[in-house]
Amino acid sequence: MITPTPLMRLVAGVWGFKTLAVGVELGLFTWLSRRRTATVDEVAAQFGLAERPTDMLLAASASLGLLEKAGDGYRNSELAEQFLVEGRPYYFGAQVRYSDLRTYLPWHRIEEALRTDRPLTWDPRVQKSMFDTTDPAMLAQFWDAMYSTSRFTARALAEAYDFGAHRRLLDVGGGAGAFPIELCRRLPGLTATVLDLPHVCERAEERIAEAGLGDRIGTVAGDFLADPELPGGHDVVLLSMILHDWDERTNRTLLARCHAALPPGGAIVVCELLLDDDRTGPPEAALMGMNMLVETEGGRNYSGAEYATWLADAGFVDVRTVRFDAPGANGAVVGRRG
């Protein structure tokens, strides 16, 4: 018998997210990592909470797979220990914070976005894009979130696609450099260039220096939407979590520039949360598409078949899709310049 229980699970989705977000904001998982285990009373004392809300928070966190019961206390689950403890290589808390502080409240006005077809997190009437802002704190949150999401996604991509066949990577819209850093750490023969806006390149240079890869990863300040050409001298171009920000016309123009920038035999890698070809899922791609309604003017999530068509039309051959599981992408559409 069909029941409304699946609908109730959807209703409760926001409760789960906010439970995760408040745990990250408190620093609960980082503190528990140092303590190993803690009772309700110990957690309450640490964070200045009463017993009742502390008990509810810990029980809810355990129900979500973030904590585990250990005798009379709680400890981090493997998931929380790996991804919610500050300082871990693939710390994901920055993405949680950004979503909570930047997009959560605008999502409450989703009907407005549906009716106006305009973003909710910035105003196109006074800004050129979501990156055109005088709020440095918001930009810092955004780039930290993207770095948080991109590092593990880069690791998953590296396992699905052989970058070892390439020598020089151009990361278009590469942000703080998570993909080149991860890939160059794995492949000693690879060098890379991050192409992004000047203030973003500054942030990338900081991350690259921290990783000790300044001799292998460089930056080029530019605007891939406005510049008539992309930097040459690379045998693979990466577009990771870029094309879902823009409409089809913009994306086709960018792919043509990528084709022109590559030598014969050079490769392109489009890494995204891909919709199924029938546009019925998976949820992570379809819901990211809804988030593009909140955050962009023309963005949406596309299917692998759509990307394959655009790549072929731009002149790429041997187009194929590789699949993997990561927070920022579930696959990559790759092609070669003939």
Residues noted as catalytic: 244
DSSP-based three-state secondary structure for 321: strand
| Cβ(178)–Cβ(147) below 8 Å | yes
| Cβ(241)–Cβ(289) below 8 Å | no
| Percent of the chain that is helix, strand, coil (3-state, to 5) | 50, 15, 35
Beta bridge partners of 331: 272, 323
What is the phi/psi pair of residue 201, to 5°?
-60, -35
Instruction: Give the integer Cα–Cα distance in Å for 50 and 61.
Output: 17
Beta bridge partners of 337: 316
Instruction: Give the integer Cα–Cα distance in Å for 316 and 338.
Output: 6
DSSP state of 263: P
Instruction: Give the integer Cα–Cα distance in Å for 228 and 82.
Output: 42
DSSP state of 119: -
The encoded tokens of residue 320 equal 């194929």
Give how far the C-alpha of residue 235 lies from the chain's centroid of Cα atoms, to the nearest Å.
24
Instruction: Give the integer Cα–Cα distance in Å for 65 and 23.
Output: 13
The encoded tokens of residue 286 equal 């379809």
